[in-house]
Amino acid sequence: MQKIKNLACLLMFSLVLISCGEYQKVLNKGTSEEQYKMAVKMYEGKKYGKALRLFEKITPTYRGKPQMERIQFMVAQSNFNEKNYSISGYYFDRFAKNYPKSSKKEEASFLSAYSYKLASPKFSLDPTDTNKALEAFQSFINTYPDSDKIDEANQHYKELRYKLQKKYFEIAKTYYRTAEYDLRNYKAAIQAFDNLLSDYLGSEFKEEALYYRLKAAHDFVLKSYDRRKPERIKDAIEAYEKLKRNYPESQYMEDSDKMLATLHQEQERIDAIIAKQVKVNIQKSKKK
């Protein structure tokens, strides 16, 4: 029995060597037709890395020929299976654009978007692939509303949109948290929260964003010179009213009410200073 196992292993090893030798021979010295056939063989055998090396060699020869449609799709699919997701997203997109009448156009359009989603990093990193995935899924949803992939596409789109919202929400919060050390970041935080709320209507972060937008405006008032406070108090009170209008039972309402009270106190103090200054100016005018 052991001898049979040893012979089987030896035979298997020999076949692998022969196969590798054949592949290398075709890769280095084969004709374009031989390389094409070997590439397809590697692809169908799920040896996608080897297939890609051959496809790369034969692409210039087959450009503009009927086989090129199949080659482009296999290149895209091979990169996908090798987890080269940014590259597969690009090639699936190219395929869909280059072969608009292909029976695989819908599949390629979906896989392009899905590839970019898989390439999309966590929310805190560069959102380039996330944005590409969003655009691609939106295009797929608009183009193929009756596709059997439409529910999946919508779910992917929702997840990507959430990821971007979280990214921009965390950026705005970072501005707010660092404003204590750099007062310019209060303005940056306010603008960032405003952008999030306008760009993503109905955002899952809307309530919290409105609250932090109010906190940034409130704290900015307290850190400002008196001459800057009137317009900033007005802005902060408007932020409070917007939060209360949208979420009258908000979990942040108690703290927000305290901030509003502080703003009113500041408003009264500033009004008193202004009134006193007006009175002084009037008296000076009379003396003249």
Residue 20: per-residue pLDDT: 64
Residue 13: per-residue pLDDT: 42
CA dihedral over 18, 19, 21, 26, signed as positive or negative: positive
| pTM > 0.95 | no
Among 117, 132, 152, the domain boundary falls at 117
Are 70 and 57 in contact, with CB atoms under 8 Å apart? no
Total residue count of the chain as it appears in this document: 288
Tokens of 276: 């006193």
Residue 1: per-residue pLDDT: 56
CATH code: domain of residue 110: 1.25.40.10
Q: Which residues contact 123 (CB under 8 A, 6 or more apart)?
A: 163, 164, 166, 167, 170
Are 160 and 134 in contact, with CB atoms under 8 Å apart? yes
Residue 10: per-residue pLDDT: 47
Among 100, 117, 134, the domain boundary falls at 117
Helices 229-246, 206-223: inter-axial angle, 10-degree rounding: 160
Give the N- to C-terminal CA distance of the chain in Å, as an integer. Answer: 122
Residue 2: per-residue pLDDT: 54
Residue 174 inside a domain? The answer is: no
Measure the CA–CA gap between 230 and 15, rounded to whole angstroms.
Answer: 84
Give the number of C-alpha atoms closer than 13 A to the C-alpha of residue 5, restricted to the C-beta side.
Answer: 2
Tokens of 260: 């509003």
Do 110 and 191 fall into the same domain? no
Residue 257 inside a domain? The answer is: yes
Residue 32: per-residue pLDDT: 87
- Give the per-residue SS3 of the chain: CHHHHHHHHHHHHHHHHHHHHHHHHHHHHCCHHHHHHHHHHHHHCCCHHHHHHHHHHHHHHHCCCCHHHHHHHHHHHHHHHCCCHHHHHHHHHHHHHHCCCCCCHHHHHHHHHHHHHHHCCCCCCCCHHHHHHHHHHHHHHHHCCCCCCHHHHHHHHHHHHHHHHHHHHHHHHHHHHHCCCCCHHHHHHHHHHHHHHHHCCCCCCHHHHHHHHHHHHHHHHHHCCHHHHHHHHHHHHHHHHHHHHHCCCCCCHHHHHHHHHHHHHHHHHHHHHHHHHHHHHHHHHHHC
Residue 167 inside a domain? The answer is: no
Residue 86 inside a domain? The answer is: yes
Do 202 and 277 fall into the same domain? yes
Residue 112: per-residue pLDDT: 97
Among 117, 137, 156, the domain boundary falls at 117
What is the widest separation between alpha-carbon atoms in the chain? Answer: 122
Measure the CA–CA gap between 175 and 108, rounded to whole angstroms.
Answer: 40
Residue 15: per-residue pLDDT: 44
Residue 192: per-residue pLDDT: 97
- Burial environment of residue 214 by CB neighbours within 10 A (0 to 12, 13 to 18, 19 or more): buried
CA dihedral over 35, 36, 37, 38, signed as positive or negative: positive
Torsion over CA of 62, 65, 67 and 70, rounded to 10 degrees? 90
Residue 236 inside a domain? The answer is: yes
Domain of 272 in residue numbering reads as: 184-282
Among residues 182, 248, 170, the alpha carbon closest in space to that of 212 is found at: 170
Question: What is the mean pLDDT for each group of 10 consecutive residues in the chain (288 residues)?
Answer: 50 47 85 91 95 94 92 97 96 96 96 94 75 95 97 96 93 95 96 96 94 97 93 97 97 97 95 80 65
Do 188 and 272 fall into the same domain? yes
How many structural domains is the chain composed of?
2
